[in-house]
Structure 1
Amino acid sequence: MHILTSGKYPIHILVARIFTDHSFMGTGGDLRRAITALFPDNSLLHHHGAAGEVDYSLSQVRYLVLDGVPHLVGLGEGREVVFRIADKIFLLTIGQRRYKVTGIDFIEDGVHIGSNDLLSYISRTPWIALNQRNLAKFKQLKTEVDRRQLLERILIGNFLSLAKGLNVRLEARLQAKITNFKHRQVNTPVPLLGFKVQFVSNFLLPEFLGVGKMVSKGFGLMNIR
């Protein structure tokens, strides 16, 4: 494994799993709204920068819903925030639906990224790969090969952005070969394309850290096959 870092390594994350009296039917966005309503004065939960502006690139607290279980993922300063608020969450309200919290547990882990080994992945949650410019380009491409190559370049760019955001410098040249992909519109306030992909890469992607757009709301998670 060839990894260089100018910061602390491995990357430490804290995951709080929130168990409720019935399966949580909302999205990561719904979970974020429920949590920020409980703690409106905590700027980090809203992804606000030092000057108060919205900055989703920070994403130090992420909101995932996996198999009907809400998860809060904290990294950097977000770890302390998640730990501090977790035992103060007793009820989650999504519109007319209410979820009584029956228990919370924590997963604390030091995660690594980067690998020389080729790993096989499949999407766990939709990957929001395209901005407006790339979406127009994607639609203009006529062949699956050309679309696949565009997505592969974007995926590698996503990996590099994640590494940079975690203050990790990778020595090895990244590879990504998409073997299958499908897309559909995802349930977001603004209609977006979400991709389900299978691919092979030499990038080791942590279980709870997604890539692409809207990672703070649980998009772009991948499982090693």
Structure 2
Amino acid sequence: MDLNVCKLELLNIKMKKRDSEKIRGYLGNKYEKMDILHNHKDDKFIYRYPKVQYKIIDEKAIILGIEEGANIVTNIGINDDKLIIEDKSINTFEKKISINKCDFGVSDDYVTYEFLTPWIALNQKNINNYNNGNDMEKEEILQRILIGNIISMSKGFNYTVDNKIKCWLNLQSTYANIKGLKHVGFVGEFKVNFNIPDYFGLGKNVSKGFGTIKKK
């Protein structure tokens, strides 16, 4: 299937990794009624694949809008010329807006991706099994989680995965700081028989830029 995707890049400012959450906070507060920008309703978190994602890649801020999020991000790119972060106003006049239809779904061939930001795969339920496993068991756990992430993402787009997903991993563990807490993350490459558009996120904290992938 094809997905409508808008990538908004802010070109004139250098930003730190943690600024993705601050951009999300600013736009979420400014457009509070648009829950697609912040995934909260009545102070409760909405569990769904985020269709607006905020990322810092190589010090550049990127806002990704998918499907109904694409028009919203396009309008933000056209109409918003500043960010306010920590009471500091930042001009964002210089920007690039890219709007595309992107292929999504099971592929006949294997596609190689790399993680541009750490993939937060583990949670409280599976981290003990991972830590206590041998190398083969750890890889099998991560393979299952990655496939599960892809299936969950597919449900967010009402796409039915009708073929078996297979993947190969070449990952290294790292640490990621999320709200002042250290989390185990993974970087590196993986192959999977599935088309995923560039800059989509997998795993936990996708809306804040974690698990961002790109085709090799």
TM-score, with length taken from structure 2: 0.88
Change over 3 Å in CA distance of 1:42–1:160 after alignment to 2 = closer
Which of these residues, 70, 85, 107, is aligned with residue 115 of structure 1?
A: 107
How many Å separate the matches in 2 of 1:138 and 1:58?
24
Q: Which runs of 5+ in 1 are unaligned?
A: 1-8
Instruction: Quote how far apart the aligned CAs of 1:89 are.
Output: 2.5
How many Å separate the matches in 2 of 1:48 and 1:34?
14
Report the counterpart of residue 209 of structure 1 in structure 2: 200
Change over 3 Å in CA distance of 1:145–1:12 after alignment to 2 = same
Is the aligned partner of 1:164 residue 2:176? no
Matches within 5 A, 1:1-225: 9-20=1-12, 22-27=13-18, 28-49=20-41, 53-95=44-86, 98-113=89-104, 114-141=106-133, 143-178=134-169, 180-189=170-179, 190-225=181-216
Letter in 1 for 2:211: G
> Is the Cα–Cα contact under 8 Å of residues 11 and 111 in structure 1 kept in the other structure?
yes
Instruction: Give the secondary-structure state (helix, strand or coil) at the position aligned to 2:98.
Output: strand
Instruction: Quote how far apart the aligned CAs of 1:97 are.
Output: 5.5
> Is the Cα–Cα contact under 8 Å of residues 11 and 110 in structure 1 kept in the other structure?
yes
Aligned-residue sequence identity (percent) comes to 26
1:33-92 Cα offsets, whole Å, 9 max, x none, are 23224434433212135x663214141211112222212211232222222222332222
How many Å separate the matches in 1 of 2:78 and 2:214?
29
Instruction: Quote how far apart the aligned CAs of 1:155 are.
Output: 0.7
Letter in 1 for 2:123: N
Higher strand proportion (structure 1 or 2)? 2
Report the counterpart of residue 6 of structure 1 in structure 2: none
**Cα RMSD after superposing both structures:** 2.1
How many Å separate the matches in 2 of 1:11 and 1:209?
11
How many Å separate the matches in 1 of 2:32 and 2:40?
12
Instruction: Give the secondary-structure state (helix, strand or coil) at the position aligned to 1:99.
Output: strand
Letter in 1 for 2:132: Q
Instruction: Give the secondary-structure state (helix, strand or coil) at the position aligned to 1:170.
Output: coil
Which 10-residue stretch deviates more, 53-62 or 104-113? 53-62
Q: Which runs of 5+ in 2 are unaligned?
A: none
Instruction: Give the secondary-structure state (helix, strand or coil) at the position aligned to 1:118.
Output: strand
How many Å separate the matches in 2 of 1:26 and 1:199?
23
Instruction: Give the number of aligned pairs.
Output: 213
1:169-218 Cα offsets, whole Å, 9 max, x none, are 2332110111x222122021133211113222111221021111111111
How many Å separate the matches in 2 of 1:105 and 1:32?
18
